[in-house]
């Protein structure tokens, strides 16, 4: 029997990939960190009458409907159904599930995985059930695979564990403990990037020339390995150089754009240690590594170069 549901809230952070996107799909290591300033939140309010259905309200996408009216492949429906399956709850609880997110969608910041995990946490809490980070990541990975085709699992993993990590597909993540805070500017090109299309485009190029692409993936993986050590020491100049090199390799993979390249150049010219696109690319966001002295100048340069937004994120070791 489905337990009597309680009012509950769940939330999850956004994330950025510091090193290794795309290569991670082919088994190379990558590094990602949570961005706690960006959050998805889900709130469950039980219905007065247990015969009511589960209603979903997501103002950000102008959605207000009953679960039974949503196609099962809809990401919110899939998130709910996967959560119920994971918790072995036969029927959705009666009530209203409201979803909100400050994470821009299609920007490479983990919006879809964060929404799924926030929703899974709210549902689990409403039913007084525990949801481990491992189970939350598993639920989000099922939804990501449905949405994006091939997905390495890095987004669900970093968001579910809410900690900086070194990730290799198919292996347990290694949690990182950066010694110093990391100051990152996240700038949005305003051009939506489709993860599904970007991953498919890299796949097509890989299929046309596997050995060339394997070399690029191995080079990107080596950057993640090197970065793991520098992150532990807080060596910003070295990390910045590795980011620059990673961006060059992402250009070779064909997932950067003129706007992303221009923003990376503007960041470096105005004093950032390094800059690169983050996530799937083909639009979306870039990141620049800065310090307190350069942050304001780099932020202004990014906005002047056409970024739609440029937020300064001071990620303290305790939040990584």
Q: Residue 24 interacts with ligand PMV (CB under 6 A)?
A: yes
Stretch that binds ligand PMV, among 36-44, 60-68, 86-94, 151-159 (CB under 6 A): 151-159
Stretch that binds ligand PMV, among 17-25, 220-228, 257-265, 295-303 (CB under 6 A): 17-25
Phi-psi region of 94 (alpha: psi -120 to 50; beta: other; left: phi over 0): beta
Site string for ligand PMV, 197-236 (x = CB under 6 A): --x-------------------------------------
Stretch that binds ligand PMV, among 21-29, 230-238, 239-247, 289-297 (CB under 6 A): 21-29
CA distance 233 to 179: 6
Residues 42-71 contacting ligand PMV, CB under 6 A: none
Site string for ligand PMV, 81-110 (x = CB under 6 A): ---------------------------x-x
Residue whose pair of structure tokens reads 């070779």 in the numeric block: 252
Catalytic residue among 59, 155, 172, 188: 155
Catalytic status, residue 155: yes
| Minimum distance of ligand PMV from residue 130's CB (angstroms) | 27
Instruction: Write the burial class of residue 96 (CB in 10 Å: 0-12 exposed, 13-18 middle, 19+ buried).
Output: middle
Stretch that binds ligand PMV, among 18-26, 207-215, 238-246, 309-317 (CB under 6 A): 18-26
DSSP letters of 72-118? TTSHHHHHHHHHHHHTT-SSPPSEEEEEEE-SPTTSSS-HHHHHHHH
Distances (CA, A) of 315 to 95, 129, 185, 202: 36, 31, 10, 31
CB 52 within 8 A of CB 46: no
| Minimum distance of ligand PMV from residue 131's CB (angstroms) | 22
Task: Give the residue from 22, 10, 100, 13 showing the smallest Cα distance to 278.
Answer: 22
Instruction: Write the burial class of residue 197 (CB in 10 Å: 0-12 exposed, 13-18 middle, 19+ buried).
Output: middle
CB 77 within 8 A of CB 113: no
Of 10 and 108, the one with the shorter C-beta distance to ligand PMV is 108
What does R_g of the chain's alpha carbons equal in angstroms? Answer: 20
| Minimum distance of ligand PMV from residue 261's CB (angstroms) | 18
- Catalytic positions, please? 155
Residues that bind ligand PMV (CB under 6 A): 21-22, 24-25, 108, 110, 151-152, 154-155, 195, 199, 279-280
């Amino acid at each position: 029997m489905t337990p009597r549901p309680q009012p509950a809230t769940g939330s999850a952070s956004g994330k950025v990939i510091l090193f290794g996107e795309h290569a991670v799909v082919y088994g190379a290591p990558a590094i990602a960190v949570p961005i706690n300033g960006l959050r998805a939140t889900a709130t469950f309010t039980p219905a007065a009458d247990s015969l009511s259905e589960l209603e979903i309200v997501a103002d950000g996408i102008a959605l207000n409907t009953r679960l039974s009216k949503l196609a099962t492949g809809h990401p919110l429906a899939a998130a709910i159904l996967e959560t119920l399956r994971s918790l072995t709850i036969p029927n959705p609880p009666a009530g209203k599930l409201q979803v909100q997110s400050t994470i821009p969608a299609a920007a490479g910041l983990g919006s879809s995985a964060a929404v799924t995990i926030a929703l899974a946490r709210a549902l689990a809490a409403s039913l007084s059930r525990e949801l481990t980070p491992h189970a939350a990541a598993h639920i989000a990975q099922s939804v990501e695979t449905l949405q994006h085709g091939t997905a390495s699992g890095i987004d669900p993993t970093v968001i579910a564990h809410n900690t900086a990590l070194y990730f290799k597909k198919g292996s347990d993540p290694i949690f990182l403990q950066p010694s110093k805070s990391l100051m990152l500017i996240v700038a949005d090109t305003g051009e939506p990037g489709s993860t599904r299309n970007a991953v498919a485009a890299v796949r097509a190029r890989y299929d046309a020339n596997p050995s060339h692409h394997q070399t690029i993936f191995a080079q990107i993986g080596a950057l993640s390995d090197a970065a793991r050590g520098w992150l532990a020491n807080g060596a910003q100049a070295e990390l910045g150089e590795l980011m620059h090199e990673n961006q060059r390799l992402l250009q070779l993979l064909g997932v950067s754009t003129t706007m992303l390249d221009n923003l990376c150049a503007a960041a470096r010219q105005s004093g950032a240690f390094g800059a690169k696109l983050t996530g799937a690319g083909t639009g979306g966001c870039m990141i620049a590594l800065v310090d307190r002295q350069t942050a304001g100048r780099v932020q202004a340069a990014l906005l002047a170069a056409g970024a739609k937004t440029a937020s300064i994120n001071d990620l303290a070791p305790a939040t990584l």
